[in-house]
Structure 1
C-alpha cells in the first residue's frame, strides 16, 4: 500500500487573452479580458496512472473562451465567468467544480467611434466558482493608487530599542488598493446582481471612504473602506482589502540650508520598498468569511 495519496488538485488554461470588438456601424465597443480556467473533479486516475479518459484538454478550455466570447458576447466579467463555469460543470461528467478568474482592462474612447486609449487607473477582477449546486462570485479591483496629502496621523505606537520611526500628526497617506468583495448571490433561482452597476458603486464607496476618513492608522482606513461598501451594497457580504503603505518620507534638506516644512509646500521621498502591508476583511454581521486570505 502506497504511503501517499492525492490531495486537492485542479487544472486548466491560465491567462487566455480575449478581446471582443462589437460593431454598431462605425461605433465600436471593446471588452478586453484575461481569463483563467481551473477545473477539478474526478481526476484521481490521471494522476495515478496517466489515463486521460476524464480530462478535458486545457487547449479546449482556451478555445471555449474564444468561442463563447463570439457566440454570447461579454456583458460583464462576472456574467461571462458564469457562462463558462456552468458550461464546464454541466457538459463534462468528470468535472465537478469550475473556477473562472478574470481580469478586465478598461479602454476609454478618444472619439465617438473607434479610437481608444487604455485606461491606467485600475484592473477589474472577477472570480466565479460553480460546483453544479451553487455559485460563489467574488469581484474586485487591483492597482488602484490613491493618496491623501494630509488628514493622516501616526502616533502612540509601541516603541522598543529598535524603533526609529518618529511620531507624526500630519503625514501623506498613500496606498495601492487591492480589494475583493463576495456577493451573497448563490442560487440560480434568485435574481443576480447588476454586475457593472455593483462594481461601479463598490469602487465609488471605497474611494469615498478613503478620501473621507481622517486617518489615525491605515488599519482604520481599511476598515472604513470595507464598512462603507457593506453598509451601502446589500448584495455584498464580505470585503477583503490589501493595502500596501506607499511611504512618503519628508526629505532632510537642512544640509542645503533649506527648511522642508513651510506652510505652502513640502518635499517627500516616495519609498519603493520595503513597505508596510495592511490586510483585513470586513464582514456583514452574521456572514462567514469565505474569501481566501491568500491565493
Structure 2
C-alpha cells in the first residue's frame, strides 16, 4: 500500500499593484507595476501540522514590495525584482529560493499645447512588459518579456502544403492576413544589463521580423523572430514565444453582387491555433529554476 506524502510547495503574495512616482524635479516620472512574490523552502510543518514558525506572512511580503518601491526604488523592473528576491533569500532564513514576477503597465505623457505635460499621463499601448526573477543558493536568473503585443500584417503570409486527412476541409492560401497577440520571454545570461534599452531593442526586433519575414507558416516567423533577437543580443540565452493565430476569414459577399479580393474579413477570436516555439543557443548556460512559475501551479 502506498504512502501519502507532501510534494513540492511554495507560497507568496500575488498581484500587488504598485505605482511609484518620482517627484525630485517638477517633471515627474512614473512606474506602474503588478508584482507577485513566491517563496520556496522547507515549509512542510505548516502543511502537516499547522506550524507557522517558518512562514513569513504574505502580508509581510506585500509590505516589503511597497517598501522596496521607495528604497532601493523602481527604476527598472529587473533590478527591482532582483533586489526583492535577494532580500528574501539572504535575509529570511527559512527561504531557500524566491521568485518575483512583474507586469509593467506603461504610461506616456499627456500632450498639452504640443508638449508633454510634467505630471499627467495617458495609458500607453496594449502590450505589458514582464519580468521574472529567480534567486536561490545556486544562482540568479532574469527573464524579460512582454505579453498582449497585438500585431497584424495584411499580406506576406501563406499557409499551404499542409498535411491532409479525411477531415481536412481547409483550403491552401498564398495570401492571407496574419495576426496574433504575442507573448515573448527571453532569458538573459547575465544579471546586470541596461534593462531599459534591452527591452526597447528586443521589442523592436520582434516587430521588425514579424513585418519583414515572408511567412510560409507562423512557426517559421516565430523561429526567425527568436533567432534575430539572439543574433542582435549575445546576452540573451533563450527566447520563448507563444502566438495565438487570430484568424481572419474572407467574408462571402457574392450574395450581394460584390467581389471580395481579400478586402473584407470576419475576425474570429476562437477557436484559434496556438503556436509556441523555443529558440536557444546550443551553449546556453543552464536555465536552472528560471522557468519554474511562481503564480501558476507547479509543473
TM-score (norm 1): 0.93
1:24: Cα distance to partner?
3.2
1:48: Cα distance to partner?
1.1
1-structure distance, mates of 2:8, 2:117? 49
Match of 1:189 in 2: none
* Contact preservation (8 Å) 2:131, 2:142: yes
Q: Give 1:161's match in structure 2, choosing from 139, 162, 166.
A: 166
Q: Give 1:129's match in structure 2, choosing from 125, 134, 159.
A: 134
1:75: Cα distance to partner?
1.3
1:26: Cα distance to partner?
2.4
How many residue pairs end up in the alignment?
A: 287
Pair 1:276-2:273 in alignment: yes
Match of 2:113 in 1: none
2-structure distance, mates of 1:272, 1:225? 24
Match of 1:68 in 2: 68
* Contact preservation (8 Å) 2:22, 2:28: yes
* Contact preservation (8 Å) 1:148, 1:173: yes
2-structure distance, mates of 1:37, 1:278? 29
TM-score (norm 2): 0.92
Q: Give 2:152's match in structure 1, choosing from 147, 153, 166.
A: 147
1-structure distance, mates of 2:219, 2:187? 20
| CA deviation string 1:89-124 (max 9, x = no partner) | 111110000000000000000133011001123000
Structure 2: which 5+ runs fail to align? 111-115
* Contact preservation (8 Å) 2:189, 2:285: no
2-structure distance, mates of 1:73, 1:89? 19
* Contact preservation (8 Å) 1:86, 1:132: no
- Of structures 1 and 2, the one with the larger relative CO (CA 8 A, separation 6+) is 2
What SS does structure 1 have at the residue aligned with 2:67?
A: helix
- Which structure 2 residues correspond to residues 194-209 of structure 1 after superposition, within 5 A? 194-209=194-209
Kindly report the root-mean-square deviation, in angstroms, between the aligned alpha carbons of the 2 structures: 1.7
Match of 2:88 in 1: 88
- Which structure 2 residues correspond to residues 132-281 of structure 1 after superposition, within 5 A? 132-185=137-190, 192-261=192-261, 266-281=263-278
* Contact preservation (8 Å) 1:238, 1:289: no
1:169: Cα distance to partner?
1.0
